[in-house]
Amino acid sequence: MNHPSADHLRPTDVTFFVGPVGAPPHIKKVYEEAVARSATGDEFALEEILDGFIEALRDIAEGTPQDPAPLKVLLECLIDQEIGEFPTYVAKGYLHKTWAPVVTVYLDRLKAPDGSPLGHLVQKAHGEVIAAMLGKTFQAEWIYTSWVYPGRPIDILSSRHLQNAKEV
């Protein structure tokens, strides 16, 4: 019998899609107009809007040595541990037919100040709190949270499929 290791059951990262920044209504209207212009090939307005929100998200996720990232401080409170290494990635992503700012926290590289791993302490309930904070901060219509778990690649061309291909 094959028993997966405990590490196999732990997420390697969590990504939050902040989708579309919706309230107040005048911001939503500007965003929707930029999306419509983008569909006609004029990407400038949408890129400018996304860049602004990505910079704001970067301020929340990255911080400085003198001013820790609010996201890091929140996660420290949630897991009741001081975080040393807090690896994140901020960019834009495409989800639900729209572009949105995204932030990824690399849990498999999350470390205490002494270098010990901390990612195993982060639970889905913590992700829900972070998503709520991001939703409130950006006045987003939705936050999509994606947890990534390690796994083995799927062998699409299994022996059964190869046998069926040979018979055709």
Cα distance between residue 14 and residue 37, in whole Å: 31
Domain count along the chain: 1
What is residue 152's predicted lDDT score, i.e. its pLDDT? 65
Residue 1 lies in a domain: no
Q: What is the tens place of the pLDDT at every residue in 11-33? A: 999 999 998 766 677 878 888 89
In a domain, 36, yes or no: yes
Is residue 153 pLDDT above 90, yes or no?
no
Does residue 102 sit within a domain?
yes
DSSP bridge pairs for 100: 93
Instruction: Give the residue numbers spanning the domain of 90.
Output: 6-167
User: Quick check: pTM over 0.85?
Assistant: no
β-pair partners for 63: none
> What is the overall mean pLDDT for the chain?
85
